[in-house]
Structure 1
Amino acid sequence: FRPASTLKLVTTAAVLDALGPDARLRTTVETTGRLDGQGRILGDVFLVGRGDPSLSGRPAAGGSVMAPLQELAEALKAAGVRRIEGRVVGHEGAFTGDRRGSDWGWEDLTWSYGAEVSALSFNDNSVELKLAPGERPGDPALLEADPRSSYYSLVSTVATSPAGTKKELTLVRDGGANQIRLAGTLPVGETWEGRVALEDPARYAAAVFCEVLEAGGIRVTRGAAKSSDPRPVESRVLAAHDSPPLFELLKVVNKESQNLHTEMLLRLLGQRVKGEGSVTAGHEAARAFLARMGVPAEGWGLEDGSGLSRSDLVSPRGLVALLVAMDRHPYAEAFRESLAVMGVDGTLKDRLKGTPVEGRILAKTGTLKRANALAGYATTPAGERLAFSIVVNNHTVPGREAAAAIDEIGRALVGR
């Protein structure tokens, strides 16, 4: 069966087992250059990614997506740096291989859920766009972008249309140029927002960091670049940023079904367990974990870590075995708390809300074209916790109808 995003259960369980719930991922600013008496670094400065998926993109309420990069820039300034006589280089060498998953849909690649994967990823390798209508029909629509950067360009010809008319929008991101073009009409009283993926993540992170440094009073003479070459052994750390603990990162992955973060964790798993930050190494580590947990995974086809691939294949029986094993695992609580709660949060926030089932199912959803799934734990009125996996493939009904049928099975599981 195609598991869709319920495959994230495999990736998150394996990485939780390997790293532990309190693991943190560090991003550093490094150089081999000398800091002279005039505040100049004589050489390149490297922004080194090690697989932290949370380098902004998920700011606290009212916070800025720039905050981690601003903190790093402030640390450099506090150390006396005023000028970099060289480049700011985004370093992504911790991961190797294709930045995209096997058999991802072409239509996925424009949006943040299909963003390229890199060991250095900033703001989910995307930009958030918001459109609002002008004051009256015919006025240009108002376009906002976060973060603003010269790394990409925006061209909008969207016009305001009368209230009550149909919203008609098209968005195209030109490959290789990071130019985003919007056209169409937006009615008075309506809004639109979307997260658009940007190409070459390490260069994106370096470009934005370069802009943050300049805004903070640190001159960069040679602009931004990227590298995956081995770093010199004499490289020294000037500043560092640590991620939240892994158990918090997993809540974003499983509750919100965050594809990029999952793909980064799969490669991180390979790097930590097998010594190579690749999809292949990640799958080898995951399969070894499944075997150790007694999960029957023969015949499974693992193509990525997130379930976005149309070629992923797993068995519901195997997923249930994994859920049972994780319920007995030393990190069982962290794993369960990473799952969406029926009717409460994440991708299950609006399902069975206000019913007796609310709060009684913890699960991971899965949604692709003609594929819907739900896997997790259901608590009966007697307090018994049941592991389950429900997968519907190759249906021809709207996805919401398939999800509703799955929810009826969920009702039966909890006896309501």
Structure 2
Amino acid sequence: MDHSRILRATNVVLLLTGYQMHWFEKKTQRFRLSLPGVVFIFVLGCIYAACFAQHFDSSSSLLKVLRDVSPFLFGLTRMQLLLGAKVLAYAVYCTVKSVGAVNSLVESLTSRDSGLKKDEVIAYVLLGSTFAILFGFVLYISFEMKFELPPLQDAMVGMALFLPHLILAGSMRLFIVLAWLSRGQLKQLKKNAEEELSAHLSKDEDNIASTSFTISTKSSSVESLENLKRKLEVLGTNFGCFTQSLQHSLIFLFALNGNCLLGGIYSLTYYWNTWHVIFEERKRRIFYAANASIYACIASDYVCLMWVLFTMEKERLNFIKCLDYFLAQRSSLAKKMRPLTKDIKSVLKRTFYFKFHSLIRFDLCYVVLMVSAQLLIISLVVIFHYLNDEILLLREELDSKNEE
């Protein structure tokens, strides 16, 4: 697996989506601020400002219809717009602030051979899965629209809502890819430790070497384990700093996702009951595809994040189990190597324990609980509004019957 290729591909994706203004230099293995990236972000900001202004244009027929059909959904749109503006400003600040932590983590990763391996293919899948799903939905909707462009004003209204989400999603792409590469580094360190300890056990048990050779082997083994311990500490510390630098971006993204899911589920619920009568068959298919794209893209992000967190935690636990196995070999493991092995185990337990603001642990359990809480709150809000509207409708019917 070639880290440079993966990081360059990630860099290109983040540049095109507007999340990053930096360019990855292959020779120095660092992200540096680039003039084309700054110009692109400036142009993108101007386009967003123009699209943002369309939401306050009183002549917009789309916003008028939305306000008349559902004031609550119009309010969600306004919330998404204002939250998106704040998020966009923060994303520009965050990409500059976090580049130091990103470079430090990249320095902790040792590049592998240049051949295309399974882990590298998975990294590309993790990087592009959501975009591939989004492209599929866009292609289908374009086909249903007979590849005709929507009115410019409506397109700009939609772009103002979509652009911040697309840009901020880059933070999750960056986290997922670097977490996957860190998992690979952790796996390599585990393999090195296992080989070192296994070789020492076999030499000690077979007693095929001379005393001087055994002493020199033990000395080199101790140095190798000390070097491995340092690498593990640096990897864990740098990944922790990288996670901390992206914590606000990920929290903002979860908030945007929650608002999108609320709007999507709310509109789908009311569409099934009342709104479908104002849609013709072709526009119904477009609505279903657009609505489904919200769930599919967000689900893809969450699944990729959960998968990476799961595999990283699994690799950490496997490393600890490996060390426990060798520590159990009391008669075979040298006294000098036992404390080092215990120290490596302690590093795995202490350093790879990531928290947001030192309060909430960021792991698979946390993400699952947060997503579940989001879905529960969204369901309660939709049920409340739907029942409230049904009660109001029933009251109107009863009042009209009493008047008759």
Per the normalisation by structure 1, the TM-score is 0.25
Query: Which of the pair has more CA radius of gyration?
Result: 2
Q: Per residue, is there more helix in 1 or in 2?
A: 2
Higher percent of residues as strand? 1
TM-score, length basis structure 2: 0.26
